[in-house]
Chains A and B, each alone.
Chain A
Amino acid sequence: MAHRFESVQQVRDGLRDVNYLADDGISGVAFLADRLGKPILVEGPAGTGKTQLAKSIADMTGARLIRLQCYEGLDESKALYEWNYKKQLLRIQADRGSDSWSDIHDDIFGSDFLLTRPLLEAITADDPVVLLIDEVDRVEVETEALLLEILSEYQVSIPELGTITAKQIPLVFLTSNNTRELSEALKRRCLYLHVDYPDMEREKQIVLTKVPEVSENLADQIARIVRSIRQIDLKKAPSVSETIDWARTLVLLGIEHIDAQQAKDTLHILLKYQSDIAKAAKELSVDK
């Protein structure tokens, strides 16, 4: 099978072309995932671009993105496949009496009556796809088992039809906000990637790419202030997406040079807890 990527550098450049600034770790792991044919488990704080990574990879390779949003109570009829019960009923009623039992039986469990859900769809697709299983930590431990077959063998077993094997191996991303420990079995099948808050230089570049109106000078100040805020012991540190929102706000307000007062007035865009805002405001204006 042809590989999608030639080198780590190519992944990196490609991602930059679609406005996603990857670091060594991200591009390296994406490259490996393609070569080894393994899914990537992406963990990290909220708002650091985990989901965006999958979208950008899809964008970059020109693949279709198939997304499965996980939630408590997700089951196989929502994730894998379901028999189209109503259509089956219609089929039986349509020619009542004419067909023999075995004909109908074979017929109504054919692929015409199968409703594909995201996982099966990703496997049966002819065109290149990227499968994103979002927030996998939200499903129960038992439901995780449902993913195991598809993640390691890229196949789905349907009792009535047999085993459906993937026509091509899709790139699979699983994201997790780490609200619970995922099972060993799932982790073992994946490559692990932890996406943390970017360092200052990268954050500045991200702001510059995502908010083109911002000046270099302002982006630098933004990145520095955000880094400073992240060092304070907060309930929820500002995420990258919040940094970008903040940059947009500052541009809209026409601020070119941030002083303490302006920073304080716009803090509520970066921080979402009142106690955090108070704390940060105090820290930023402290005289040493």
Chain B
Amino acid sequence: MLDLLAGFVNELRNAGLPVSLTENLDAMEALQHIPIEDREAFKYALGATMVKNNAHWRAFETVFEVYFSLRGPEYKIAEGETDLDAMWREMQEQMRQEGDSRGNQGGSLDSLTPEEIAQMLMSALMNGDQAMMRALAKQSVQRFAGMEPGRPVGGTYYLYRTLRNLDLDGMLEKLMEASRQQVGGELTALEERLEQDEYSDRIDQFKKEIEAEIRRRLVADRGAEAMAKTLRKPLPEDVEFMHASRDEMQSLKKALQPLTRKLAARLARKRKHGRKGPLDFRNTVRHSLSYGGVPAEPKFKYPRPAKPELMVVADISGSVAAFARFTLMLVYAIQGQFSKVRSFVFIDGIDEVTDYFKGEEDIAKAIHRVNTEADVVWVDGHSDYGHAFEVFWERYGKDIGPKTTVLLLGDARNNYHASQAWVIKEIKSKARRVYWLNPEPKSYWNTGDSIVGDYGTHTDGVYECRNLRQLEGFVEKLA
């Protein structure tokens, strides 16, 4: 047990969770008070003592599943389980009563045709029958995934194969149809939506069962440590903007909101506190009146640094679009910390999009408008930094003043067009600060058609900004 826990903690640390020694000891102590056969309690005991940040909970859960999935009687891998068979017989019994023709077939789940499985799955989803769903998940993984011991493919491949055979999207349609029939006629819009939510929730649950089942089998095949390594996913704040999958994008979006709130609170506090200035003579004398003229309480001047004015110029072509989106979202979420924010987007043409954010409470909607409405294509819709910068300088260059900070976002992959780096030099001479944020890893800079070095020499700094953590760090420095 101790070995297993040590491996578990080790894996948590590898996944990026900060587990300190005392927390580890706490976990050990906590386990003494928990009945070891109670899996849920066991999990929460470990979670409460070792995971102190909700964003890390998912990573913890994955590792937990891998390390402790095989323990517990209901997770037998052996085929032809007794509970499953019992359930199957019960189901047959039901069908016979309903006069269903298939009911008189004998045998166990293994002998069913795929159509029958689909039929059973549908009725299980319809009634929200958890046990049946779990049994079916097992069955379909066994049948469709085609798992072979020792085969070097990831769990996602098996998952894809299983899901393709089950056609769950079509299932949702069928379920909706069935419930419409049940009511006899049309559902109102509200009911429709509720039913749909209900079913997609159940289908999600079923998908999770399948994933868990695949994981269990893989762990049995390869062992926990090897498995944990393949399943290791970056924490939300470490996900790279440029390679985020759709799920990761979702979790990034979720992580962004609390982050902006924290950032705004921190910046406001930084502005208010700290830095003590020189003695404020007038104020001290005024307050001395209440002590009978004795200056008992010295007052100080607090410097109030001017809020910077911000111009964001972002490349929104294909690969770096996600990065630009997140940066814009972050900047606008904390725009109270700046005196003025103007934003421009470009691919090979450039357009100002400040107005989209004005009077729009919902930042996500504004970003959507930026992506669809902004006039950013000049010739062919391939990034041309040189031309975009030139036009920027012509049209908006006069607005740059000594208070302005200019943020340039992009990977500087210029498709071998002219760089026009002189524009950046000109901007630098007028603006307070010019920064370049690059979502590419540093080792890729200046390779191929990336000319970030050409531009970088004229800025106050080029920063690698691959994930939320780095972006947050930079923005905090900025304000």
Q: Are B261 and A32 in contact (CB under 8 A)?
A: no
User: For residues 237 through 288 of chain A, which have their beta carbon under 8 Å from a beta carbon of chain B?
Assistant: 258-260, 263, 273, 275, 279, 283-288
Decide yes or no: A180 and B194 within 8 Å by CB, A38-B26, A233-B364, A259-B188 being known contacts. Answer: no
Decide yes or no: A224 and B198 within 8 Å by CB, A284-B189, A286-B193 being known contacts. Answer: yes
Nearest Cβ on chain B to A187's Cβ, whole angstroms:
4
Looking at chain B's contact residues, is the secondary structure mostly helix, strand, loop, or mixed?
helix
A8 within 8 A of B: yes
A215 within 8 A of B: no
Closest to A273 in B: B361
B interface, size bucket: 35 or more
Q: Are A8 and B41 in contact (CB under 8 A)?
A: yes
Chain B positions within 8 Å of A31 at CB level: 33
Q: Are B193 and A191 in contact (CB under 8 A)?
A: no
Q: How many angstroms between the C-alpha atoms of A28 and B35 in the bound complex? A: 11
Q: Are A192 and B44 in contact (CB under 8 A)?
A: no
Q: Are B33 and A32 in contact (CB under 8 A)?
A: yes
Q: How many angstroms between the C-alpha atoms of A196 and B47 in the bound complex? A: 15
Q: Are A263 and B190 in contact (CB under 8 A)?
A: yes
Q: Are B40 and A179 in contact (CB under 8 A)?
A: no
In the complex, per-residue mask of B260-274: 1 if CB is within 8 Å of any chain A CB, else 0: 011001100100010
B442 within 8 A of A: no
Q: How many angstroms between the C-alpha atoms of A255 and B40 in the bound complex? A: 39
Q: Are A285 and B189 in contact (CB under 8 A)?
A: yes
A29 within 8 A of B: yes
Q: Are A179 and B189 in contact (CB under 8 A)?
A: no
Nearest Cβ on chain B to A143's Cβ, whole angstroms:
12
Q: Which of B34, B258, B361, B362 contacts A32 (CB 8 A)?
A: B34
Q: Which of A41, A225, A286 contacts B194 (CB 8 A)?
A: A225
Give the number of chain A interface residues (Cβ < 8 Å). Answer: 50
Q: Which of B30, B194, B258, B364 contacts A228 (CB 8 A)?
A: B194
Chain A positions within 8 Å of B362 at CB level: 275, 279
Nearest Cβ on chain A to B38's Cβ, whole angstroms:
7
Q: How many angstroms between the C-alpha atoms of A188 and B51 in the bound complex? A: 10
Q: How many angstroms between the C-alpha atoms of A157 and B44 in the bound complex? A: 34
Q: How many angstroms between the C-alpha atoms of A228 and B194 in the bound complex? A: 7
B390 within 8 A of A: no
A193 within 8 A of B: yes
Given contacts A25-B47, A228-B194, 8 further A-B contacts (CB under 8 A): A24-B40, A28-B40, A31-B33, A35-B30, A35-B33, A180-B265, A287-B189, A288-B196
